[in-house]
């Protein structure tokens, strides 16, 4: 089930929220701790007003809720609410068995015994789940993974705790895959909300329409994107609708990855078919590949990994994705020289692509040694960002490849004076109009955006993943 967590202050607002999200959800959780005192008294009426199962919860502040009153009052409000036809009631692990348990059993309401940890995953998490199950019908743990190795622990719950009705939730950025692939942890449901009531919650619409979380089964092919950061990525919006369009049973999921080595263990556990690679793993991933394409050998970085019999194969679609929007300008002689800002993994494919088209390239980077190494390998020039303005009027193309401008309104070359004749290209796609492009636009420069490159390289990745062309009718929301 996809279960919506209701965080409204009145019953009427909760009903409106259910109606607004009904097409995407299978259950909801009524949170007494969010309701005002008057509406808590009406809580027993709520289950009869909706057509889906309802979980009753009254969460204390220490467990991530809003309730700060006395424990005696909280229990009294829960007991009163249990007059309603709730499907489940959520009781924390330290709540001793009392009249609440008895009333729930009398009413045929299943008990969820829950444990919350907003800092880490306890070493004894599997034992914790087993203990919780002994005291209720369903065991629930909402914990905070701090590494991809922690994520492995959560996905391993499916086999370690088979046969136990459970809810396994990884909160925060590392835990996002566990919310989408909740069935692969053995969970009976996943939680969602429009307003985040716990770290890392996704919206009901996103879980249902982008990821089709409820339709994921043991035959679903799992693909993804690894990076750090990664949750901002629009790649799921490119791949998942296209899988759907060609009736391909697959899902594409973002994975925040701190260790490439440990991610490959997770990829094997989930039997992943392939994944995209973004900053900062495009070079490190090479050590774990059994085969690479000519482009990867030449560029020295990889953005696409596909499972082949007995090995992982790496390729690089950034090369073609970058070139596609400016191909005509190169062929018709409008681009003969270029400045490339940045010397990281993202810049390598771009520099190699330009040099392969006989474009003269100068690499600008804050650390000159990195730029010089890259320049030597690609037979081009290197300089520091501080010297950017000396290239005023001397280049046809300027490409911005750094993370500067991602989430903040700054430019990597704030003092550069555009003439209006430059073609300016920023590979950042959120925000679409970066400070670098704003400055270029003010001078009348022709612009190219990161979403152009993202979509073009994504279409090539889709073909590598599935063997099918990207469906023409799909125009992703990037």
Active site residues per annotation: 282
- What would you report as the CA-atom Rg of the chain, rounded to the nearest whole angstrom? 26
Distance, in Å, from the CA atom of 260 to the CA atom of 322, rounded to the nearest integer, reads: 25
Helix (H) or strand (E) holding 194, with range, is none
Q: Is 319 exposed, middle or buried (0-12, 13-18, 19+ CB in 10 A)?
A: buried
What element of type H or E holds 224?
A: strand 221-227
DSSP codes of every residue in 339-407:
EEE--SHHHHHHHHHHHHTT-EEEEEESSHHHHHHHHHHHT-EEEEGGGGGGGTTS-SEEEE-SSTTSS
Pairwise CA distance, residues 320 & 350, whole Å: 9
Residue 58: cis peptide before it, omega within 30 degrees of 0 = no
Q: How far is CA 362 from CA 202, 349, 387, in A?
A: 42, 14, 11
Mention every residue, 6+ apart, whose C-beta is less than 8 A from residue 72: none
From CA 465, how far away is CA 460, in angstroms rounded? 9
Cβ contact 151:178 at 8 Å: yes
């Amino acid at each position: 089930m996809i279960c919506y967590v209701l965080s409204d202050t009145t019953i009427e607002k909760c009903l409106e929220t259910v109606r607004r999200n009904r097409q995407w959800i299978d259950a909801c959780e009524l949170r007494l701790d969010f309701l005002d005192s008057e509406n808590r008294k009406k809580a027993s009426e709520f289950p009869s007003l909706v057509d889906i199962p309802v979980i009753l919860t009254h969460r204390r502040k220490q467990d991530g809720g809003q309730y700060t009153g006395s424990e005696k009052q909280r229990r009294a409000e829960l007991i009163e609410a249990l007059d309603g036809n709730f499907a489940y009631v959520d009781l924390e692990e330290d709540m001793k068995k009392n009249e609440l348990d008895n009333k729930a059993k009398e009413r045929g309401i299943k008990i969820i015994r829950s444990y919350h940890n907003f800092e880490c995953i306890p070493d004894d998490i599997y034992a914790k789940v087993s203990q919780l199950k002994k005291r209720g019908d369903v065991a629930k743990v909402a914990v905070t993974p701090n590494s991809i190795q922690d994520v492995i622990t959560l996905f391993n719950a499916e086999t370690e705790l088979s046969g136990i009705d459970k809810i396994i939730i990884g909160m925060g950025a590392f835990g996002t895959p566990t919310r989408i692939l909740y069935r692969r942890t053995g969970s009976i449901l996943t939680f969602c909300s429009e307003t985040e009531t716990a770290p890392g919650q996704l919206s009901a619409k996103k879980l249902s329409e982008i990821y089709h979380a409820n339709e994921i089964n043991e035959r679903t092919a799992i693909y993804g994107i690894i990076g750090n950061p990664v949750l901002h990525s629009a790649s799921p919006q490119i791949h998942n609708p296209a899988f759907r369009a060609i009736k391909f049973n697959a899902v594409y999921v973002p994975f925040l990855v701190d260790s490439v080595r440990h991610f490959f263990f997770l990829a094997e556990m989930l039997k992943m078919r392939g994944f995209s690679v973004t900053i900062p793993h495009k070079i490190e991933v090479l050590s774990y590949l059994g085969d690479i394409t000519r482009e990867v050998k030449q560029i020295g970085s990889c953005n696409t990994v596909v499972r082949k019999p007995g090995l992982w194969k790496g390729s690089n679609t950034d090369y073609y994705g970058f070139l596609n929007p400016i191909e005509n300008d190169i062929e018709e002689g409008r681009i003969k020289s270029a400045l490339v800002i940045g010397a990281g993994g993202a810049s390598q494919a771009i520099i190699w692509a330009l040099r392969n088209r006989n474009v003269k390239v100068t690499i600008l980077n804050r650390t000159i040694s990195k730029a010089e190494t890259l320049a030597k390998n690609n037979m081009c020039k290197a300089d520091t960002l501080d010297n950017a303005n000396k290239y005023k009027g001397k280049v046809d193309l300027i490409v911005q490849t750094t993370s500067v401008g991602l989430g903040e309104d700054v430019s990597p070359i704030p003092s550069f004076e555009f003439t209006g004749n430059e073609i300016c290209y920023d590979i950042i796609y959120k925000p679409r109009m970066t400070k670098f492009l704003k400055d270029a636009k003010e001078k009348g420069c022709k612009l190219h955006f990161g979403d152009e490159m993202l979509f073009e390289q994504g279409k090539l990745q889709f073909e590598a993943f599935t063997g099918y062309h990207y469906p023409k009718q799909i125009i992703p929301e990037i």
